Amino acid sequence: MTADIFPHLKAACADDWNAYVHHRFVRELAAGTLPEDAFRWYLAQDYLFLVHFSRAWALAAVKADRLDEMRHAVATVNALINHEMSLHVEYSAGWGLTEEAMAALPEAPANIAYTRYVLDRGHSGDLLDLLVALAPCVIGYAEIGAWMDEGRASGLATWDGNPYRAWMEMYAGAEYQEVAADVRGLITRVAERRIGQDPMASGRWGSLRDGFAAATRLEVGFWEMALAPQPLPRAGA
Amino acid sequence: MTADIFPHLKAACADDWNAYVHHRFVRELAAGTLPEDAFRWYLAQDYLFLVHFSRAWALAAVKADRLDEMRHAVATVNALINHEMSLHVEYSAGWGLTEEAMAALPEAPANIAYTRYVLDRGHSGDLLDLLVALAPCVIGYAEIGAWMDEGRASGLATWDGNPYRAWMEMYAGAEYQEVAADVRGLITRVAERRIGQDPMASGRWGSLRDGFAAATRLEVGFWEMALAPQPLPRAGA
Amino acid sequence: MTADIFPHLKAACADDWNAYVHHRFVRELAAGTLPEDAFRWYLAQDYLFLVHFSRAWALAAVKADRLDEMRHAVATVNALINHEMSLHVEYSAGWGLTEEAMAALPEAPANIAYTRYVLDRGHSGDLLDLLVALAPCVIGYAEIGAWMDEGRASGLATWDGNPYRAWMEMYAGAEYQEVAADVRGLITRVAERRIGQDPMASGRWGSLRDGFAAATRLEVGFWEMALAPQPLPRAGA
Amino acid sequence: MTADIFPHLKAACADDWNAYVHHRFVRELAAGTLPEDAFRWYLAQDYLFLVHFSRAWALAAVKADRLDEMRHAVATVNALINHEMSLHVEYSAGWGLTEEAMAALPEAPANIAYTRYVLDRGHSGDLLDLLVALAPCVIGYAEIGAWMDEGRASGLATWDGNPYRAWMEMYAGAEYQEVAADVRGLITRVAERRIGQDPMASGRWGSLRDGFAAATRLEVGFWEMALAPQPLPRAGA
C-alpha cells in the first residue's frame, strides 16, 4: 500500500481543480483558438513564474533531509532553468521578444501571488508543506498535457496546424509526464514519512488541504490574468 | 546629514505612490461615503493581512544584527498583534463577525500577493530589502492619516458622523504617526549602514527602487480588491 | 490524554540529558565552588547565546500558523531580550564588563554550533522541528533550577552566600518555571497537531529524537566550553 | 578595475587564514604522514559537511536575483553532490565504510558549527553575506591544493606514494581550481553590485570581514576536530 495523497487533495477542492485544468485558457489553447496576445502575455509571465518556481525548488533542496531528495530537487531546478524555460525563450524570440526584455518585465500581481505563496509555504512549513504547494503546477500541467493528448480523438484538442503545438507537445510529452510522475512519487514518500499512511487522519490534513486548494486557485488566477493581456515590448521598439 | 531614502523611493514611483495614498477607497472613506460592505471586506482582509505582516516584522527580528533593532522589530510585532488588530476585532464584532470567523476567511489573491511578496523580499534579501518592502504600508498609512487630518479644513475629510472615524483616528493619531516616524528612522539607519549616504549611487538602488514600487502597486491592488467586496459570514449564519 | 513528547525525547537520550542537567559546571555552580572566571566566561557567552536564541524564537513567530502561538513566541522573545538578558548585564556590570563590550565578544565555536543548529532546524523543518530543538535549553534550565531548589535539603545546592545565587534564583524561581511549563505546553499542542497523540509512532520520530539529542549534546558542549574560560576585556583596559 | 574583495578579507584575518591553509592537518596530509584514522575521520565528517554545504549553495540559488547566478549556484550544488562527494564515497568504500554508514554518523560539533553558521549568514543576510561565509572553504581549499602542487619542488608536498594523493589531485587539479576561480568571480560581481568598487569603504565592511574571519576560524576548528579522531563503524561490525 502506498499513501498517494493527490486523490484526496484534488477531491477536497474538486471545483477549483476542475476550473484550473479545464480553464477556458487551456481549452482555447488546445483548440488553437486562443488569441495570440493572450498566449504571448501568458508565456512572458510564465517565464518570470519559472524563475521564482525554480527558487522554490531550490528551497526544497535546502529543506531536504535525504541526499536522494536533495538530488531530485536540484535536478528539477536544472530541468526548469535549462530546459523548460528554453521553450519560452524560443517562442518569444520568434515574436522579437528577447530573453532580456522578458526578464525585465514586471510580474503581474496574480503571478507574484502564486510564486511567493509557494515560497512562503516552504519557509513557514516543512518540505511537505512546500511540495504540496508546488504540486498543483507540476501535476496539473501533466493532467492538462494528458487530456490534450487524449483530446486528439474527441476533438477537444486540435494538433494539426495548432500554433501552440510546441507547448502541447512539451506537456503531453513522455519526458514531462515522467517528470511529473517522479515528483508525485517524491511527494508520496515525503508524505508517508511525515504524516503516515492515512493523510486525512493526520492533524496536518486541514492545513495541507488548504495549502493545495489555495495554490490551485492561484493557478486559476494565473489563467485569468493571461486572458487580460498587457502590451509587450517589441524588438527595436 | 542623514540619508532619508524615502523621498527618493517615492519620487521614483510617484504615480504609483499617488494612486495608492489617494486611492478612491481612501478618499471615499475620508468622505464617509464608502459603501459599508467595501469597508467590511477591507477590514476582514486587512485582519488577515496583519497576521502575515506581523510575521514579516518577526522576520525582521530574525534578520536584525543589532539588539536595539531586534527590540524595535519585536515591539512592532507586539503593537500589530496586540493593538492595531484589536481595532479590526472591535469593528467586526459590531457587525456580528467574530475574530474566529475572520481568521478563518480565505485570503484574497491581492492580499496574498502583497504579504508574501514582502516576506520573500526578506528571505531573498537582507534586512534593508525587507524593510523597504514593508515601508509602503507603514509610511503610506501615516501619510493617509495625515492628509485626512489636514483634510478637516479643506473638506477632503469629513470627521463628524463619519462611520469610519475610529479608523481615521487610529492612523491620524499621534501614536501611529510616531510609530511610522520611528520605522522611518530605523530604515534610514539600516540604509546608511548597508548602502551609505547616497542611496541612488548604490548598486542596490535599482533593486530597492523596484521592490518599493512593486509593494506600492500591491497596496493599490489591495484597495482595488476592497472595492469589489465578497460576502462575509454573519453571526448565527 | 495529552501527548507530552518530553518523557520520550529525554528517555531516548538519557545519558546525554543527564550529562547536561548534572554537568560539573552546574554542580559546582550550585555548590558555590565554580571558579569565577568560568562563570564570567559562561555568562558573557550566554549573553551572545541569548541574542541568537531570541532570533530563533522570532523565527517561531514567523512559522506559527495560529495567532495565539505567534503571540506566545513573541512574548518569549520579549522575556528573553528585556528580562533574562538583564541578569547578564547586571552581573557583568559588577565586574566592569559593559553590555557593549560583551556584545562585541566573538562567540565561542560551541556557542555558534548550538544557536545556529537550532536556527537551521527551524529553517529546514517546521515549527515542531524548531521547538523541539529549542526545548533542551528552556526545559533543561528549568530542571536545573528545580534540582537546585530541591538541593537545599540534600546539600547538593548551597544557597547561603553562594556568589551565583542570583542565577539560581532566576531559574529556580516561579516565573521561569512557569515560562518553561508554558513552553512545554506549547510544544505538546504543536506536536499533537503535527504528529498526533503517539509521538513514537510517527514517521518523524527518528528525526525529532535526533534533533533533540543533538541539541542536548550541544548544551553539554556549552558547559564544557565554559569550563575552559578565555580572558575577558576589563573596563578601562 | 575590478573590486576583488578577497585580498582585503584575507588580510583582515591574516593569522587565522594562515592557521587554516597551513594547518598541521594539511601539512601532514601533504607529507603523507597524517595518521590514517585522522584522515578517515576527516573524510567521514567532510562527507556530512558537504551535505549541508550543498544546502547552503542551494540557498544561494534561492537568494540569487539573476538567472545566471542562480544557474551558477545550482551547478555548484550539482558538482558537490554528484562529483566532490564521490571522492569521499570511493575512499571510504576502500575502508569498508559504506555511504549509508557515513551518512548515518553524528556530525561533530565543530562540523555543525561551520555549516550552520554559513546557513545562518545566508538566512539573516543577503546573497553577499552568504557567499562571503562560503568563501573560506571554496577559496581556501584551492589555495591548499595550489601550495601542494607547488610543494612538489620544495619538498613541502610528497606526491609519490602519498596515500592521500587522490585528495591532493582533486583540489590541486585544474577542474577544482577553475571551480574556485569561478566562485571568486561570482563573489566579486555580487560584491560590486551590492557594496561597490571599494569594499572597505562600505558600511557593511565590518560585518563581511567578521563573517569571513569567523568562517575561517571554523575551518581551523574543523582541522582540529579531525586531529582528534573518533572510532568509525566498520563493515560487518
Supply the pLDDT for residue B223. Answer: 98
**Would an 8 Å CB–CB cutoff place B218 in contact with chain A?**
yes
Which of A58, A81, A103 has the CB atom closest to D58's CB atom? Answer: A58
Output the nine-digit C-alpha cell for A26.
Answer: 487551456
> For residue B22, which of B175, B161, B119, B146 has the smallest C-alpha distance?
B146
- Mean pLDDT value across residues D165-185: 96
CA distances from C127 to A65, A130, C5, C80, D61 (A): 16, 14, 15, 19, 24
3-state DSSP: chain A helix, strand, coil percent, rounded to 5? 75, 0, 25
Cβ(C175)–Cβ(C79) below 8 Å: no
Supply the pLDDT for residue D83. Answer: 87
Query: Would the CB atoms of A59 and D55 count as touching at under 8 Å?
Result: no
CA distances from C115 to A127, A213, B58, C126, C218 (A): 22, 36, 18, 17, 9
The proportion of chain A whose per-residue pLDDT surpasses 70, expressed as a percent, equals: 97
User: Residue C58: CB partners within 8 Å, gap ≥ 6?
Assistant: B58, B59, B61, B62, B70, B73, B74, C73, C74, C77
| Interface test mutation site (partner A, options B20, B55, B116, max chain A beta carbons within 10 A) | B116
Which of C65, C202, C204 has the CB atom closest to A124's CB atom? Answer: C65
Chains that touch A (3 or more CB pairs under 8 A): B, C, D
Q: Which pTM value belongs to this model?
A: 0.97
Its sign, for the CA torsion A7, A8, A10, A14, is positive
CATH architecture, domain D6-226: Up-down Bundle (1.20)
Supply the pLDDT for residue B209. Answer: 98
**Would an 8 Å CB–CB cutoff place C31 in contact with chain D?**
no
Output the nine-digit C-alpha cell for D96.
Answer: 569498508
Give C170-180 pLDDT, tens digit per residue.
999 999 999 99
Cβ(B151)–Cβ(B143) below 8 Å: no
Indicate if the pLDDT at residue A121 is higher than 80: yes
More confident call, B95 vs C61: C61
Indicate if the pLDDT at residue A151 is higher than 80: yes
Supply the pLDDT for residue B62. Answer: 98
Nearest CA-CA distance, residue C118 and chain B, Å? 13
Query: Would the CB atoms of A58 and D81 count as touching at under 8 Å?
Result: no
Ordered DSSP codes for D56-102: HHHHHHHH--SHHHHHHHHHHHHHIIIIIHHHHHHHHHHTT--HHHH
Query: Using the 8-state DSSP alphabet, how is residue A199 labeled?
Result: G
> For residue D203, which of C150, B172, B199 has the smallest C-alpha distance?
B199
User: Residue D142: CB partners within 8 Å, gap ≥ 6?
Assistant: D171, D176, D177, D179, D180, D181
Nearest CA-CA distance, residue A18 and chain D, Å? 31
For residue D2, name the pLDDT band (cuts at 50, 70, 90): low
User: Residue C61: CB partners within 8 Å, gap ≥ 6?
Assistant: B54, B55, B58, B61, B77, C70, C73, C74, C77
Supply the pLDDT for residue C110. Answer: 98
User: Residue B156: CB partners within 8 Å, gap ≥ 6?
Assistant: B27, B30, B31, B147, B148, B150
Cβ neighbours of B207 in D, within 8 Å: 65
For residue B237, name the pLDDT band (cuts at 50, 70, 90): very low
Provide the phi-psi class of D96: left if phi over 0, else alpha when psi is between -120 and 50, else beta.
left
Supply the pLDDT for residue A83. Answer: 87
Cβ(C219)–Cβ(C30) below 8 Å: no
Query: Would the CB atoms of D195 and B207 count as touching at under 8 Å?
Result: no
Indicate if the pLDDT at residue A2 is higher than 70: no
**Would an 8 Å CB–CB cutoff place D55 in contact with chain A?**
yes
Nearest CA-CA distance, residue B218 and chain C, Å? 21
| Interface test mutation site (partner D, options B70, B126, B204, B205, max chain D beta carbons within 10 A) | B126
Long-range CB contact pairs, D200-205, < 8 A, 24+: D200/D8, D202/B196, D203/B192, D203/B193, D203/B194, D203/B195, D203/B196, D204/B193, D204/B194, D204/D128
CA distance C152 to C30: 9
A217-226, B85-94, C32-41: range with lowest mean pLDDT? B85-94
Nearest CA-CA distance, residue B19 and chain D, Å? 28
Output the nine-digit C-alpha cell for C185.
Answer: 505546553
Give D51-97 pLDDT, tens digit per residue.
999 999 999 999 999 999 999 999 999 999 988 999 999 999 998 89
**Would an 8 Å CB–CB cutoff place D103 in contact with chain A?**
yes
Nearest CA-CA distance, residue A23 and chain B, Å? 18
CA distance A41 to A226: 6
The domain ranges of chain D are 6-226
Cβ(C30)–Cβ(C148) below 8 Å: yes
Supply the pLDDT for residue A237. Answer: 45
- When the pLDDT of each residue in chain C is averaged and rounded to a whole number, the result is 95
Which of C62, C65, C203 has the CB atom closest to A193's CB atom? Answer: C203
Supply the pLDDT for residue D108. Answer: 97
> For residue A195, which of A1, A3, A49, A65 has the smallest C-alpha distance?
A3
**Which chain C residue is nearest to residue D52, measuring alpha carbons?**
C120
Indicate if the pLDDT at residue D117 is higher than 80: yes
For residue C237, name the pLDDT band (cuts at 50, 70, 90): very low
Supply the pLDDT for residue D237. Answer: 45
H helix count then E strand count, chain C = 12, 0
- When the pLDDT of each residue in chain A is averaged and rounded to a whole number, the result is 95
- Mean pLDDT value across residues A34-50: 96
Convert chain B into a string of H (helix), E (strand) and C (coil).
CCCCCHHHHHHHCHHHHHHHHCCHHHHHHHHCCCCHHHHHHHHHHHHHHHHHHHHHHHHHHHHCCCHHHHHHHHHHHHHHHHHHHHHHHHHHHHCCCCHHHHHCCCCCHHHHHHHHHHHHHHHHCCHHHHHHHHHHHHHHHHHHHHHHHHHHHHCCCCCCCCCCHHHHHHHHCHHHHHHHHHHHHHHHHHHHHHHCCCHHHCCCHHHHHHHHHHHHHHHHHHHHHHCCCCCCCCCCC
Indicate if the pLDDT at residue B69 is higher than 50: yes
More confident call, B216 vs A83: B216
Supply the pLDDT for residue A111. Answer: 98
CA distance B187 to D150: 50
ipTM metric? 0.95
CA distance A9 to A214: 11
The proportion of chain B whose per-residue pLDDT surpasses 90, expressed as a percent, equals: 92
Supply the pLDDT for residue D235. Answer: 56
Supply the pLDDT for residue B27. Answer: 98
Supply the pLDDT for residue B235. Answer: 56
Place of cell 573524510: D43
**Which chain A residue is nearest to residue B222, measuring alpha carbons?**
A109
